[in-house]
Amino acid sequence: MPNTAVGGGRNTKILGIESSCDETAAAVVEDGSRLLATSLLSSAAIQAQYGGVVPEVAAREHAMAILPVVDWVLREAKVGLGDLDAIAVTQGPGLLGSLLVGVTFARTLGSALHLPVIGVHHLEAHLYANALEEPIRFPSLALLVSGGHTSLFLWEGHLALRQLGQTQDDAAGEAFDKGARILHMTYPGGPQIEKLAGLAQRKNLRLPVADMHGRLDFSFSGVKTATQALYDKHIQEPEEVAYALQDAVVRALIATVRRAWQQHPVKDLYLAGGVTANGAIREAFAHLGDSLGISIHIPPVSYCTDNAAMVAALGYYKWQAGDRMGPFEGPKVLFPLGQEGD
Ligand SMILES: Nc1ncnc2c1ncn2[C@@H]1O[C@H](COP(=O)(O)OP(=O)(O)OP(=O)(O)O)[C@@H](O)[C@H]1O
Ligand SMILES: [Mg+2]
pLDDT given at position 341: 38
Task: Answer yes or no: same fold for 13-129+304-320 and 137-298.
Answer: yes
At a CB cut-off of 8 Å and minimum separation 6, what does 17 contact? 25, 26, 66, 70, 87, 88, 89, 90, 102, 105, 106, 308, 311
Partners of residue 144 on adjacent β-strands: 151, 272
Question: Which of 20, 24, 146 has most ligand 1 atoms within 8 Å of its beta carbon, as the pocket-test mutant?
Answer: 146
pLDDT given at position 2: 40
Quote the CA–CA distance of 8 and 6 in Å, as a whole number: 7
Phi and psi, residue 266, nearest 5°: -85, 175
Report, as an integer, the average pLDDT of 221-239.
96
Q: β-strand 150-157 against 140-145: which pairing, if any? A: antiparallel
Is the CB–ligand 1 distance for residue 92 below 6 Å?
no
Query: Taking a C-beta distance cutoff of 8 angstroms, is the pair 278, 243 a contact?
Result: no
Percent of residues, the chain, with pLDDT higher than 90? 89
pLDDT given at position 186: 87
Report, as an integer, the average pLDDT of 291-308.
97
User: How is the chain split into domains, by residue range?
Assistant: 13-129+304-320, 137-298
- In which band, very low, low, confident or very high, does the pLDDT at 4 lie, cut at 50, 70 and 90? very low
Question: Which of 144, 194, 275 has most ligand 1 atoms within 8 Å of its beta carbon, as the pocket-test mutant?
Answer: 275
The pLDDT of residue 207 is above 80: yes
Report, as an integer, the average pLDDT of 243-248.
98
CATH 3.40.630.30 for domain 137-298: no
pLDDT given at position 52: 78
Report CA(246)–ligand 1 centroid distance (Å). 13
The full length of the chain comes to: 342
Single-letter residue type at 252: A
Ligand found nearest the CA of 93 = 1
Q: Tell me the torsion sign for CA atoms 277, 281, 286, 292.
A: negative
Single-letter residue type at 238: P
Query: Taking a C-beta distance cutoff of 8 angstroms, is the pair 204, 221 a contact?
Result: no
Task: Please tell me the residue having the least CA distance from ligand 1 atom 27.
Answer: 148
Task: Please tell me the residue having the least CA distance from ligand 1 atom 13.
Answer: 147
Query: Taking a C-beta distance cutoff of 8 angstroms, is the pair 133, 299 a contact?
Result: yes
Condensed to tens digits (0 to 9), the pLDDT of residues 41-90 reads: 998 888 888 877 889 999 999 999 999 999 999 999 999 999 999 999 99
Quote the CA–CA distance of 306 and 129 in Å, as a whole number: 10
Task: Please tell me the residue having the least CA distance from ligand 1 atom 5.
Answer: 190
Ligand found nearest the CA of 276 = 1
Ligand found nearest the CA of 95 = 1
Condensed to tens digits (0 to 9), the pLDDT of residues 185-205 reads: 988 899 999 999 999 999 999
Is the CB–ligand 1 distance for residue 273 below 6 Å?
yes
- In which band, very low, low, confident or very high, does the pLDDT at 1 lie, cut at 50, 70 and 90? very low
Superfamily of domain 13-129+304-320: ATPase, nucleotide binding domain (3.30.420.40)
- In which band, very low, low, confident or very high, does the pLDDT at 277 lie, cut at 50, 70 and 90? very high
Q: What is the DSSP string of 163-191?
A: EEEEBSSS-HHHHHHHHHHHTT-PSSHHH
- Three-class DSSP category at 37: strand
Condensed to tens digits (0 to 9), the pLDDT of residues 136-171 reads: 999 999 999 999 999 999 999 999 999 999 999 999
Is the CB–ligand 1 distance for residue 270 below 6 Å?
no
Is the CB–ligand 1 distance for residue 146 below 6 Å?
yes
Does the pTM surpass 0.85? The reply is yes
Is the CB–ligand 1 distance for residue 173 below 6 Å?
yes
Which residue in 103, 125, 93 sits closest to 315, CA to CA? Answer: 125
Is the CB–ligand 1 distance for residue 191 below 6 Å?
yes
Condensed to tens digits (0 to 9), the pLDDT of residues 17-53 reads: 999 999 999 999 999 999 999 999 998 888 888 877 8
Partners of residue 205 on adjacent β-strands: none
Partners of residue 117 on adjacent β-strands: 87
- Give the helix/strand (H/E) hosting 305: none
Report CA(179)–ligand 1 centroid distance (Å). 13
Task: Please tell me the residue having the least CA distance from ligand 1 atom 30.
Answer: 190
